[in-house]
Structure 1
Amino acid sequence: MSAQGNGKFYLYTRYERFWHWLQAALIIALAATGFEVHGSFTLLGYKRAVTVHSALGITWLVAFAFFVFWVATTGEWKQYVPTTKKMFEVMRYYGYGIFQGQPHPCPKTPDAKHNPLQRLTYLALAAALLPFMMLTGLLYWLYNDWAALGLGGLSLSAVAVAHLLGAFAILAFLVVHVYMTTTGHTPLAHVKAMCTGWEDAEDGKPEDWEKRTA
C-alpha cells in the first residue's frame, strides 16, 4: 500500500475514478434526455433527445462491459462480495452514531473499500439494476426488430414502464449517494478522494494505518 506523509493512502485507481465519473455523467445525461423523451420538458427536441439518449445508452453498455472485464481480471470483484460482518454496527453508525461524532466501524482500506451496506448496494446496482436498465433500454431501442427476433409477444408499454421505474430507482440511488459523499470528516473529503485517488487515513498516521491493514 502506498502512503503519503500527510496521513493519506492511495485508495482509488485511475480506472476506478474514470469509471465513477463517466458513469455519473452518463446517468445524469441519460436521465435528462429520458425525461425529455417522456415530455417532462423541452431542451434538445424530441427527435434529438431520442438520438442522444440512444447513443448514451450504447456508450454506457460498452463502458459497463469494460468495467465487468476490469473487475473480473483485477480481482476487484472481491470488493463486492456481500458480508453481514459489522452490518448492524454500520447501520447504527449511519442511524445516529455519525451525528454524535463516533468513528466509522468499518474504515476504508485498499482491500476493503466498501462497508457491508455499500457492498450490498453496489452489488445490487451492478448485478441487477444496471443490467435491467440496459436490457429494457436495448429492447426499447430494438422495437422495430422484435418480430424478426421472435419477441412479438412483448408489450412495448410494459417495457417502457419497466425502464422508467428502473430510472427512478437509479435516481434514488444517485440522491442517496450524493448525500453519502458528504459524510466524511469534511463534506468534500470523499469527493476529493474520488478525484485524486488519495484517501485520508482516519487517524492521520499512515504508519499506524499500514499496521492495521497489513
Structure 2
Amino acid sequence: MQKVYIYKKFERFWHWSQAALIFFLALTGFEIHDSIHLFGFEKAVAFHRSASYLLLGLIAFSIFWHFTTGEWKQYIPTFSKLQAQIHYYAIGMFKGDPHPTIKTVNKKLNPLQAVVYLGFKLVMAPMVIFSGLLYMYYKSFDANDKVVELAIPLEWIAVIHTLGAFLLISFIVVHVYMTTTGHSLTANIKAMITGWEELDENEEKESEDLNTKNTES
C-alpha cells in the first residue's frame, strides 16, 4: 500500500465540523420534539438555533472555498461507470471484486457518490435550511411593530423541516456505513482525518496517470 494525499486541510475541517453540527442539530431537534430529554426544552431550542447559525456560516465558507479552488467540479455527476459502481456496492464488494473506479485528487468521488452528494447539496440541505429559517422567522415585525405572519401554514413548514431532517439523518447513516467499504473498516475514516488515502500499487499508478491526464487537459 502507498499513501496519496487526497483531502486538503480545510476540506477535512469542513467535513468534520459539518458532521458534528448536524449530529448536534439532530440531538437538540429530537429534544424539541420531546423524543429525548437532555438539556431541557428552552436550552435545546437555544442550542439548536445557535448551531444552525454556525452551520450556515460553515456552509458559506465551504461554498466560497469550493468555487475559488475549483473543488465544486468534484460534484459534477456522470453516468460513466455508474451502473458498475451500483453493482459493486450491491454485489461486487461482497465477492471481493476490484473497485470499478480509482480515487484521485481531481476525482475524489465515484459516480454514485457524486450523484448522491449533489442531491445532498441541492435538495436535502436547502430543504432543511430554508424551512428552518422560515420556522424561526415565521413571525416578523413591520415598521410599526405589527406582527406579520407568512402565508404558509406553520404546520407545513414544521413537517417539511422534520422530513428534511430525517432525510439528512438517513444520508448520514448510509454515509457512515459506506466509510467501512474501503481497504479496511477504518481506512476511509483515517483518510479523512489525515488527508492521506491508501492505494495499492496498481491503484496508485492509475491514479497518477489520471491526475497527469487531467492536468494536461
Q: Smaller-chain TM-score range?
A: over 0.9
2:67 alignment partner AA: A
Q: Confirm whether residue 74 of structure 1 aligns to residue 69 of structure 2.
A: yes
Distance 1:157 1:135 in 2: 15
Cα distance change on mapping 1:65 and 1:34 into 2, 3 Å: same
Q: Confirm whether residue 54 of structure 1 aligns to residue 49 of structure 2.
A: yes
Q: Which residue of 2 aligns with 1:88?
A: 83
1:135 alignment partner AA: F
Distance 1:162 1:48 in 2: 23
String of CA shifts for 1:138-161, please: whole Å, max 9, x gaps.
111112217779653111110001
Q: Which residue of 2 aligns with 1:137?
A: 132
Alignment of 1:148-163 (within 5 A): 152-163=150-161
Structure with bigger RCO (C-alpha 8 Å, 6+ apart): 1
Equivalences, count: 209
1:175 alignment partner AA: V
- Greater Cα offset, 120-129 or 202-211: 202-211
Aligned Cα root-mean-square deviation (Å)? 1.8
**Helix, strand or coil at the partner of 1:105:** coil
Q: Percent identity?
A: 45
Gapped regions of structure 1 (runs ≥ 5):
1-5
Q: Which residue of 1 aligns with 2:178?
A: 180
Q: Which residue of 2 aligns with 1:211?
A: 209
Distance 1:85 1:205 in 2: 18
1:182 alignment partner AA: T
Q: Which residue of 2 aligns with 1:3?
A: none
Distance 2:190 2:69 in 1: 24
Distance 2:157 2:60 in 1: 22
**Helix, strand or coil at the partner of 2:197:** strand
Q: 1:200 aligns with which of 198, 201, 204?
A: 198
String of CA shifts for 1:149-202, please: whole Å, max 9, x gaps.
965311111000100000000011011001000001100000000000000113
- Greater Cα offset, 189-198 or 121-130: 121-130
- Could you state the TM-score of these two structures normalised by the residue count of structure 2? 0.91
**Helix, strand or coil at the partner of 2:180:** coil
Gapped regions of structure 2 (runs ≥ 5):
213-217
The alpha carbon displacement at 1:211 in A equals: 3.3
Distance 2:62 2:200 in 1: 29
Distance 1:37 1:90 in 2: 39
Cα distance change on mapping 1:83 and 1:211 into 2, 3 Å: closer
**Helix, strand or coil at the partner of 2:201:** coil
Q: 2:9 aligns with which of 11, 14, 18?
A: 14
